Structure formats: C-alpha cells, structure tokens
Chains A and B, each alone.
Chain A
Amino acid sequence: MAGGTVPLLSAADDQALLARIADEDAGAFETLYARYSAAAYSVAIGLLRDAAQAQEVTQDVFLAIWRGARGFDPARGSARTWILSVAHHKSVDAVRRSRRNPTVPLSETMTGAADVIEAAQARVDAGHVRRALEGLSIEQRAAIVLAYYGGYTQQEIAQRLGVPLGTIKTRMRDGLLRLRTVLPAPAPETAQ
C-alpha cells in the first residue's frame, strides 16, 4: 500500500487503541493521550479559565478513560465523542463546584441574561462553530451556548431567560439537531 510511512489514523484505529487500553496497555494509552490531550485540555481551560484547574480536570479525564475503556461501546459513538464528552462533563462539574458559595450571587454579577449569553458566547473561538451557531434561532443559540460554553443547567437557563423548563428542553433538542446538519462530525485526531 502506498504511503506506508504515514500513520493511518481512523475511528477504527481509536477503537483498537481503546481495546488495548482496556487490557491495561500503557503504550496504547500514551498514544491516545498524544492524540486527544490537547482537545480535552482546550475544553477544560475554555470552561475553567484556569490552567491549574484545567490540568487537574484533564488528568481526571484521562484516568477515567483508562479505567472506563473496558466499558467503551463503539455503537454508542466514536472514541473522540466519548473523550470530549467526558472532558466537557468533568469541566462543567468543576465549574459548578467553583461557583458554589460564590461571594457574590451569580445573578448580581451580570446585569442581565444578554450579558451572560455574551460571556458564554465569547468562548467560541473557531469560526466554523461560530457560524454554525449563528445559523440557529436566537432562542436555540442562547440555550445551547449557556449550557455548553457557560456550564449552566437547563433549570438555571430557564430561570435566567424567564421561560418554562420544557421550552428550554425543546430549544436544546431542536438546536442540537440543526447543528448536526451544519457542523461536521468531529474527525479522529490526526496529530501524532
């Protein structure tokens, strides 16, 4: 086969790595770390805005991958989706922990919902994601941006926007389905 020196990385390759990690293959884990640590760390630092906390969360993420590799089911999504989902989950948990008992209640730190949405949306750096989000209705975008980039619960979002919880759930559902048609499914990492 031509191009034999180029590492052939694919979703199947990630799956094979995870299967080896399930057998406690530290070398496979090292390869997976090389591929996904930057993606996971970027999620953590984007949400936490603190390098030390982001490192701690990233470490937790990869330890969870190491321990959970046995339970990985490719039928439920790609390795990349799983790793990024774990990274987002742990980062959001850390954001909520640090928000607990704030000296100033969150509702008083911002003048209004628009500012909170703006702050969350400012975390979107990549142009193609920004454009994809602009393709949503304002209501859908607010719900998704506050949840994913702001780390707020759907309950908090409903309260802040002053709409019923059921409405937020519907906006999240419709918004994500729409994003799915405009944002490419993330390809497996090709770095290293």
Chain B
Amino acid sequence: MTHDEIRESIPGYALHALAPDEARDVEAHLADCVECRRELAVFQEAASSLAAGFEPHEPPAALRRRVLDAVRPRGRTVRPGPGWATALAVAAAIVVVLVGIVVSLEQRLTGLSTQVGSEAQALALLADPASRVATLSGSAAGSVRFIFDPATGRGALVATGLRDPGPDLVYQLWLVAGATPRSAGVFRPTSGTPVIVAVGADFPRYQAVAISVERGPGGAARPSAAPVLVGKLGGG
C-alpha cells in the first residue's frame, strides 16, 4: 500500500477497526514514517477519549493479585510432586501463615562478586547472636546448615562435603510453607570450599528448607523428586 492509502486507514487503525492484515500493513509503514506516526498520535488520543464513555466498573481484588503475581518471576508458588510427602510431613507439625517472598538466586549466583557477597552475608549472620541455625539431614552425605535471621529476613545456606549430583544435575534449595515449596536457588557443590547460597525471605512464614536434585542448569519450577535433605525452620 502507498503512503496515501495507509494514511487513509490511520483513523480506522486508531479505532482498531482494521482487519489483521491491514493492521500489519499500517504497522509496517508506521515504523518508517514520522508523519503517519504523528497523525496516529492525534487519532489515538481522540479514540481513547471515547473510553470514558463506558460505564465504570471496578475490577475484583483477586485480579490485582493475579496480575501482580504474573509479573514477579521470583517467589512463584508451585505445587509439590508426589515425592514430597516426606518433606511436608516434617513441616506439617507447625502451622504457619502462608505468604512469603523468596529471593531466588538463579540470577544472583553467577559470578565471583556475588559469591563474595554471599560469604559476607553468611559470616555476618554467623556473627549475629539473633541468627538461628537449622541443620539439614537426609539421605545425602555432607554438612549442610541454613543460617537465618527471622527479624531481617536474611539467610544463607552453607554446604560442605556434598557429592556432585551428576552431569546436568543441580541441587535446588526450597523453602516450604504448607504444601507450597518455593525455589530459593540452585547450586552445584565445589570441592574443597563450602558453597554459600544467600536467601532473602520472610522466614517465620516457612516451616522448612529442603534440597532436591533437579535438572540443570536452572532447576525445576516444582520439585520433581523427593528431597535429599530437609531442615526445620520454625521454632517448634
């Protein structure tokens, strides 16, 4: 279509009254034509002023929750796989309100400076008398502790002696509240030095931390296997 033909269709485009193929032609032209873009701005503003004509309605509160949850890639609520009955049984004794924020570490654990930051956080937590320590136990060999400060929401997993989970596999850390484990990051053991995973969360809302073996590099959205290590977080 020529510039003039496109230009004639701009009011219809602003009213969303074009067939899909016509709309695509207009869009392709708009990308290169300043004049048509300017004209579209005028018609779009006029068309949008018609929106005030619709009867006003308040969207339900549940929609807000859904929309906001959808844009937060972290702290996603997941449903556990069948192997999780054990971990949940560990947590079941403690009743805790279920809302929490997890700072997932998938993006954070990439690079030395982050590792140094995690170490500093772990050291600071160890030095803080308000910190608590949960020791994880289970089928995997190794010394794994979770240090956390319920007041500040800072925590760190410190793991030594864990075996390599195998090629293409990673350990994934989960925070467990009720029936909803949330990913708190993935890691692979390094021989000789402890692995430190910094975690920020509202810890009083969680009953347990657990570690499962998942496919790398990113881990799973929900646990796919029974946890190899579990530790209680709650005071009970």
Write the residues of chain A forming the contact surface with B, with a CB cutoff of 8 angstroms.
26, 29-30, 33, 37-39, 41-43, 45-47, 51, 54-55, 58-59, 62-63, 66, 75-78, 80-81, 84-85, 87-89, 92-93, 123-126, 128-130, 133, 144, 147-149, 151-155, 157, 166, 168-169, 172-173, 176-177, 179-180, 183-186
Contacts and interface: CB of A to CB of B under 8 A. Distances in A.
Interface in B38-68: 40-60, 63-64, 66-68
A172 B44 CA distance: 12
Interface stretch (B4-12, B89-97, B132-140, B155-163): B4-12
Given A185-B49, A186-B48, A169 B54 contact: no
Contacts of A55: 59-60, 63
Interface in B148-168: none
Contact of B51 (A77, A84, A133): A84
B33 interface: no
B15 interface: yes
B133 to A, nearest CB: 32
Contacts of A89: 16
Contacts of B45: 77-78, 81, 180, 185-186
Contacts of A76: 37, 40-41, 44
A47 B57 CA distance: 12
16 contacts: A37-B59, A38-B57, A55-B60, A55-B63, A85-B44, A88-B16, A88-B48, A123-B54, A126-B53, A130-B53, A149-B54, A155-B19, A166-B8, A176-B43, A179-B50, A185-B49
B55 A186 contact: no
A173 B15 CA distance: 10
Interface string B16-47: 11110000000000000000010011111111
A166 B18 CA distance: 13
B70 interface: yes
Nearest to B74: A26
A41 B51 contact: no
Interface of B: 8-12, 14-19, 37, 40-60, 63-64, 66-68, 70-72
Contacts of A43: 51, 54
Nearest to A168: B12
Contacts of B59: 37-38, 41, 54-55, 58
B17 A81 contact: no
Q: Main SS of the interface on chain B? A: helix
Given A43-B54, A125-B53, A85 B68 contact: no
B46 A180 contact: yes
A33 B68 contact: yes
B67 A33 contact: yes
A128 B139 CA distance: 71
A30 B68 contact: yes
B12 A172 contact: yes
Contacts of B54: 42-43, 45-47, 123-126, 149
B51 A184 contact: no
B49 A179 contact: yes
Contacts of B15: 144, 147-148, 154, 172, 176
B47 A176 contact: yes
B12 A29 contact: no
A172 B56 CA distance: 25
B17 A186 contact: no
A88 B51 contact: yes
B50 A129 contact: yes
A80 B48 contact: yes
A26 B68 CA distance: 8
Contacts of B8: 166, 169, 173
A80 B44 CA distance: 11
A192 B173 CA distance: 39
B49 to A, nearest CB: 4
A54 to B, nearest CB: 8
A84 B17 CA distance: 15
Given A42-B51, A88-B51, 15 more contacts: A29-B71, A30-B68, A33-B64, A37-B63, A37-B64, A46-B57, A58-B59, A75-B41, A85-B48, A130-B53, A153-B12, A154-B12, A176-B15, A179-B46, A186-B48
